[in-house]
Amino acid sequence: MSPQFRAPKGVPEYVPPASGRFLMVRETLSAPARLAGYGYIELPVFEDTALFERGVGESTDVVSKEMYTFTDRGDRSISLRPEGTAGVMRSVIENGMHRGGLPVKLWYAGPFFRAERPQQGRYRQLQQVGVEAIGSGDPALDAEVVALADRAFLDVGLRDFTLHLNSLGCAQCRPAYSARLREFLDGCDLDEATRQRAQINPLRVLDDKRPEVQEQIASAPLPVDYLCAECAQHYDATRGFLVDLGVTWQESPRLVRGLDYYTRTAFEFTHPGLGAQSGIGGGGRYDGLMSALGGPDMSGIGFGLGVDRTLLAAEAEGLHVPDDAQVRCFCVPLGEEARHVAVSLLGRLRATGVGADMAFDSRGLKGSMKAADRSGARFALIIGEEEIAAGTVMVRDLVEGTQEPVPLDDVVVRMMGSAG
């Protein structure tokens, strides 16, 4: 029978065992930030639409085409969050976090929403892990943020990805470059929508992936050729610190990213196993964003890493991402008295941090062992009349195929020792 209801189109749904691998990837991507002193921030899933219009940029596809926007009961325009940086900046300003020690270092994770045409790796609900470091223009901080993303992908096990790096200049040198780029684009055969985008932010045209556009802008002027002395020095210093951190990258002078707020350092990670949707994460510096949102003039840098795409990249490399399920042992009670023993044992195992489950509904040995196999547990703990009489539990290693009786009072300690 076909289900009456289905998940919305373009929204990936993770169920066991794939959901366990998803959780493991998300945990791994966030671990480097936690080790580097980044505190967790839980953001609203929806915000004032104007926050994204001002913070992300009205010329971006994200704001002009892809936001889920609605009017709430108070006649306010609300949008589901399409990205994380603007919301973090709003929270930093609102909660006065910038008045404490700087830089403010935060990380977050969760779903983001974009009304895009669904395809593999391009979803309407996408899952990301992000970090933001606010209140310092130190190029060593740029290198730290880039290196955290690099380490996160390496820790997942990815090896085939490429880090692309560029500098987009600042408020002092960007205007001269933008004017020169507009002049160049005026001579190109562009559609009206692209011409309008070029007038608002010409750098956005460099991010246009259409072949007919890419062909025309092949000889377009590049941001790095117009950097002021201070931006050039910042970029050189950032690359020097990346060398110190052992990070390798590819110079990508046309990289501009898809959001208007980026300045100076911009970076993106791509993976060949994802086809057209090759980006698995990226970010950059956004000096001026905080003041644009009503806060003090503080610099910042951050990234967003795609959990969905990282999982796809791992699959493309044939990596075994372990299931996050923590069931180590599975109790198999045979008889009503054994069920009481098993429930008690189950509670003691879990209390000591050992993942454990059991067969329910008074199944026989064959059905219970099938359930044990499906659980992914390493050990089956079989309790029958003979075991109760002897005060033991039959511990069967489901990988090695061996088994031995273990005194009931020793089972918890044995399972704790086997967890390593």
Convert the pLDDT of each residue in 287-328 to its tens digit: 889 999 999 999 999 999 999 999 999 999 999 888 766 789
Average pLDDT rounded to a whole number, residues 52-77? 86
Question: Concatenated DSSP letters for 251-320?
Answer: E-TT---SSTT-EEEEEEEE-GGGTT--EEEEEEE-TTHHHHTTS----EEEEEEEHHHHHHHHHHTT--
pLDDT for 271-283, tens place per residue? Answer: 999 987 899 999 9
SS3 125: strand
Task: Say which residue, 58 or 135, is predicted with more confidence.
Answer: 135
Please state which CATH class domain 18-173+227-316 belongs to. alpha beta
Residue span(s) of the chain under CATH 3.30.930.10 come to: 18-173+227-316
pLDDT of residue 78: 97
pLDDT of residue 118: 87
pLDDT of residue 335: 94
Span of 18-22, 25-29, 56-60 with lowest mean pLDDT: 56-60
pLDDT of residue 6: 93
Q: What are phi and psi of 306, to 5 degrees?
A: -80, 115
Average pLDDT rounded to a whole number, residues 11-25? 92
pLDDT of residue 80: 97
pTM for the whole thing? 0.90
pLDDT of residue 324: 67
Average pLDDT rounded to a whole number, residues 4-32? 93
Average pLDDT rounded to a whole number, residues 234-244? 98
Q: Are strands 356-358 and 329-333 parallel, antiparallel or unpaired?
A: parallel
> What single-letter DSSP state applies at residue 412?
H
379 to 208, 276, 342, 350, 406: CA distances (angstroms): 54, 44, 14, 15, 12
- Tell me: pLDDT of 104 over 60: yes
Q: Topology of domain 329-418, per CATH?
A: Rossmann fold (3.40.50)
The owner of tokens 């044990």 is 372
201-239: burial string, b at 16+ Cβ within 10 Å, e else: bbbbbbbbeeeebeebbeebeebbebbbeebeebbeebb
pLDDT for 364-386, tens place per residue? Answer: 999 999 999 988 899 999 999 99
- Tell me: pLDDT of 410 over 80: yes
Report the DSSP beta bridge partners of residue 127: 111
Residue span(s) of the chain under CATH 3.40.50.800 come to: 329-418
Q: Is 310 in contact with 291 (CB distance < 8 Å)?
A: no
Q: Is 387 in contact with 405 (CB distance < 8 Å)?
A: yes
Q: How confident is the model at residue 2 (pLDDT cuts 50, 70, 90)?
A: confident
Cα 18 versus chain centre, distance = 16
